[in-house]
Amino acid sequence: AQSVAQPEDQVNVAEGNPLTVKCTYSVSGNPYLFWYVQYPNRGLQFLLKYITGDNLVKGSYGFEAEFNKSQTSFHLKKPSALVSDSALYFCAVRDNVKGYSTLTFGKGTMLLVSP
């Protein structure tokens, strides 16, 4: 089965500074990778995905992610953090279990952006 790891439970960054939220994956075959964001008491919102092609993927709200096959990583990045970016971020990988397609999620990383 596929798996993802988010090694940091929490990331703290000051507003205006660049941010990185880390994700590593373990898959057999080509990886389909996703980032989602969850604001308090809300559902998960899709940010971006990597299926194939350019290793730098651009997504919603100014976020981007860099796919690195040799390091099996898919880190989420943003050049300049906003206080409103404070939320819970999930990395996920497509998984095929019993012949159907679903997502396997990491445990999540809380991003706190201070003013």
Partner 1 sequence: NAGVTQTPKFQVLKTGQSMTLQCAQDMNHNSMYWYRQDPGMGLRLIYYSASEGTTDKGEVPNGYNVSRLNKREFSLRLESAAPSQTSVYFCASSEAPYTIYFGEGSWLTVV
* Footprint of partner 1 (CB under 8 A): 9, 32, 34, 36, 41-46, 49, 51, 90, 94, 96-98, 100-103, 105-108
Instruction: Output 13 or 106, the one with its CB closest to partner 1.
Output: 106
Name which of 45 and 80 has its Cβ closer to partner 1. Answer: 45
Please give the Cα distance from 102 to 91 (Å, whole number). 13
Question: Minimum distance from CB of 19 to partner 1 (Å)?
Answer: 20
DSSP 8-state code for residue 84: G
Q: What is the DSSP letter of 53?
A: S
- Cα-Cα end-to-end distance for the chain: 41
Residue number, 15 or 64, with CB nearest to partner 1 = 64
Q: Which is nearer to partner 1, 70 or 98 (CB)?
A: 98
Taking the complex as a whole, how short is the minimal distance between the CB of residue 87 and partner 1, in angstroms? 14
Written as six digits, the tokens of 82 are 């906003």
Q: What is the 8-class DSSP label of residue 81?
A: -
CB 48 to partner 1: min, Å = 10
**Spatial CB neighbours of 77, under 8 Å, sequence gap ≥ 6:** 18, 19, 20, 21, 63, 64, 65, 66
